[in-house]
């Protein structure tokens, strides 16, 4: 009955009103969850829910975030959007050579090549590379981000989308980026979902329950998906906390100047589960605010 009333309310409420109520409701959920988290204390026992409880949560109707388009037209559209993101914080007219870390399809590099830039895409595999990227003039380098196969001081812009959270050692990657950048060169990173955010396991297409990786043992999640013949070879995520990333930016102050920085909050997605099972979260993360930031946007300039 309550669910039906919510659907009716969404169908008749003007969009600005729905957004305002959603914002207020999100703040209320966050406040309740924070209190539950702080009341839980510092229990040493690491607690997880049972696999049966996962099925029960799946039946609540959780939906995954917006699906990313990987069709040919979608790749072009996403590349254009990403190029606009970069252009919003960096003057691309000064970029002669660019490097994308974790390029996958390479279509952002293709868009930069279309501007007359020497555009290079780097990844550990060419499996996802779109042939149109090469046809547009982009170069592909199969290399690790911790050992970039390029000359020192050869790049004006290094950038990455949705990859930095997958690099095992982000600090080593940044040292390599510093090496290949020319003085005054720029870095643009947009990455997430962070590991401790609602969809940090990157398994949301098969298991859209927020924070599933904090509530359940990972082997139970794989078993649950396998039993239902769902893909469950989820990508590696480095498990860094927001606190670790913030410490990394501070450690780079002698090498880079941060020219733009943004953290994108979750709006309270899934925090009702923190309120309901605070013991599961308290034993995985020591700061409630870690659960509230999903993405990071940072722009740096080499000193």
User: What digits encode the pLDDT tens for the residues 50-80?
Assistant: 989 999 999 999 999 887 888 999 999 999 9
Asked if the bond preceding 172 is cis, omega within 30° of 0, the reply is: no
DSSP annotation of 162: S
Q: Are strands 293-302 and 256-265 parallel, antiparallel or unpaired?
A: antiparallel
Beta-carbon count within 10 A of 257 CB: 13
Look at the pTM and tell me if it is higher than 0.85.
Answer: yes
Least confident window among 18-22, 37-41, 82-86: 18-22
What local confidence, expressed as pLDDT, does residue 4 receive?
A: 43
Q: Is residue 46 scored above 80 in pLDDT?
A: no
Whether the predicted pLDDT of 41 surpasses 80: no
Handedness of CA 20, 25, 27, 28 (dihedral sign): positive
pLDDT at 11: 46
CATH 3.40.50.150 fits 72-191, yes or no: yes
pLDDT at 8 over 50: no
Number of alpha carbons in the 13 Å side-chain half-sphere of residue 290: 22
CATH 3.40.50.150 intervals, the chain: 72-191
Question: How does pLDDT run across 262-287, given as a tens digit for each residue?
Answer: 999 999 999 999 999 999 998 899 99
For the chain, list the strands marked E by DSSP.
97-101, 118-123, 139-142, 155-161, 181-191, 256-265, 293-302
pLDDT band at 23 (very low <50, low <70, confident <90, very high): confident
């Amino acid at each position: 009955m309550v669910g039906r009333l919510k659907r009716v309310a969404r169908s008749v409420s003007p969009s600005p009103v729905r957004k305002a109520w959603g914002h207020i409701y999100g703040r209320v959920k966050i406040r309740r969850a924070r209190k539950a988290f702080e009341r839980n204390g510092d229990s040493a026992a690491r607690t997880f829910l049972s696999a049966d409880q996962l099925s029960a949560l799946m039946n609540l109707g959780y939906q995954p975030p917006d699906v990313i388009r990987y069709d040919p037209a979608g790749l072009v559209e996403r590349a254009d959007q990403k190029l606009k993101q970069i252009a919003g914080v960096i003057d691309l007219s000064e970029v002669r050579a660019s490097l994308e870390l974790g390029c996958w399809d390479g279509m952002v590099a293709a868009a930069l090549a279309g501007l007359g830039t020497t555009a290079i895409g780097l990844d550990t595999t060419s499996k996802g590379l779109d042939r149109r990227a090469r046809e547009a003039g982009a170069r592909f380098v199969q290399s690790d981000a911790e050992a970039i196969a390029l000359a020192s001081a050869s790049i004006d812009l290094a950038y990455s989308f949705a990859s930095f959270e997958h690099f095992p050692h982000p600090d080593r990657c940044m040292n390599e980026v510093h090496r290949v950048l020319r003085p005054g060169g720029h870095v643009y990173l947009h990455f997430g979902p962070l590991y401790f955010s609602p969809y940090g396991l990157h398994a949301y297409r098969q298991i859209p329950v927020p924070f599933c990786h904090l509530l359940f043992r990972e082997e139970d999640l794989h078993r649950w998906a396998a039993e239902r013949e769902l893909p469950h070879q989820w990508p590696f995520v480095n498990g860094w906390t927001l606190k670790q990333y913030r410490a990394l930016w501070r450690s780079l102050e002698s090498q880079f100047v941060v020219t733009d920085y943004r953290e994108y909050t979750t709006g309270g997605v899934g925090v009702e589960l923190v309120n309901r099972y605070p013991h599961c979260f308290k034993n995985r993360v020591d700061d409630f605010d870690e659960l509230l930031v999903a993405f990071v946007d940072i722009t740096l300039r080499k000193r």
